[in-house]
Amino acid sequence: MFFAVMAALLLALFVVNVIHGTWLGLISTGGLAVLMGYNAYRAWFGKRRT
């Protein structure tokens, strides 16, 4: 759940950066959003399998 919330927050930051057009912010928040999304997916998938 924590990772899902973090992914959502980072995705919101990413959207703000897209609107403002800062490349550094785009790359950093985009990378973090992908990482958090992957962690959320892995945690959720791992929970489902057990």
Residue 41: pLDDT over 80: yes
Q: What is the pLDDT of residue 50?
A: 61
Q: Which tokens sit at 10?
A: 């980072």
Tell me if the pTM is above 0.85.
no
- Tally of domains within the chain: 1
Q: How far apart, in whole angstroms, are the C-alpha atoms of residue 34 and residue 50?
A: 24
Residue span of the structural domain in which 31 resides: 1-48
DSSP at 44? H
Residue 44 has what pLDDT? Answer: 82
